[in-house]
Amino acid sequence: MIRPVPIGAGLVGDGPLVVVAGPCVLEGEAVALETGRRAKAICSRLGLPYVFKASFDKANRTSIRSFRGPGLEEGLALLEKIKKELGCPVLTDIHEAWQAGPVAEVADVLQIPAFLCRQTDLLVAAARTGRPLNVKKAQFLAPEDMKSVVEKCREAGNDKVILCERGTTFGYRQLVVDFRSLPLMRELGCPVMFDATHSVQTPGGQGSSSGGDRRFVLPLARAAVSLGIDALFLETHPDPDSAKSDGPNMVPLDRLEALLEELVAIDDVVRRLGPVRLGWAGERK
């Protein structure tokens, strides 16, 4: 039995598919607001709860010269403006324990990056804010290993934990998605999110930056939704090829509606059947 997580007026894990979407990093007010407005309007038409996402600081860029974002103070001010103007929850990631408190004053969801999901002090600080947490499974971890991650958050007093699949390292500069991870992580009692755009990334694939292949976003997202995920994470941008971070794997904003229409059709069927559980047909609960 999973524990649904409240975000805004909705519940992740007890209701329609929740869409978390936005640009990789806060590049500026205009791009952020355009992306958020259009994504929210699309989700509203499709009956999907919407959460805006963007990073105020990309602390794990490949190159020290890469654009990281506006930083904490300016980034939180912009996220607060987006939250008020669009009337939707916002999600952003933190990289250090001291950031948890100030970020929780603005963000509705704190995200723990995949590389950092074993960092106990970071998890505890985020959990103690009381905000819902989206914890990305590290590229080097088995899904069963996320049990310890969840226990750290719960021991710190927070059971509002979502677990996010974003691919597993496969050799050099390649990620693969083992879809067994989705029902396995759901067995831990947490709603499960699928990160469809980072899963098609090629880390460091362009030398001084990461590459990716956005053609595979839809096939992977269709597969994930068919298993009964609770939320979908997508990075999207009006012009991904000019984006300052993660452009190769982001969904063009003008393709977002068609993509989500396909996923809603699959999700409708899955919700009539119930999420896939480990076992056999007829054993769903």
Write the pLDDT tens digit of every residue in 128-170.
999 999 999 999 999 999 999 999 999 999 999 999 999 998 9
The identity of residue 282, as a single letter, is G
Give me the domain span that covers residue 267: 5-273
- If you average pLDDT over residues 206-212, what whole number do you get? 65
Number of domains in the chain: 1
In a domain, 280, yes or no: no
Asked if 107 and 56 count as a contact pair (C-beta separation under 8 A), the reply is no
Q: Which two tokens stand for residue 87?
A: 């009337």
pLDDT class for 67, splitting at 50, 70, 90? confident
In a domain, 283, yes or no: no
Q: Would the pLDDT of 184 be above 70?
A: yes
pLDDT class for 207, splitting at 50, 70, 90? low
Q: Tell me what pLDDT residue 108 has.
A: 98
In a domain, 56, yes or no: yes
Q: Tell me what pLDDT residue 277 has.
A: 75
pLDDT in tens, 92-112: 999 999 999 999 999 999 999
Asked if 29 and 129 count as a contact pair (C-beta separation under 8 A), the reply is no
In a domain, 285, yes or no: no
* Residue 36's CATH number: 3.20.20.70
pLDDT class for 62, splitting at 50, 70, 90? confident
Q: Which two tokens stand for residue 184?
A: 């396995």
Q: Would the pLDDT of 284 be above 60?
A: no
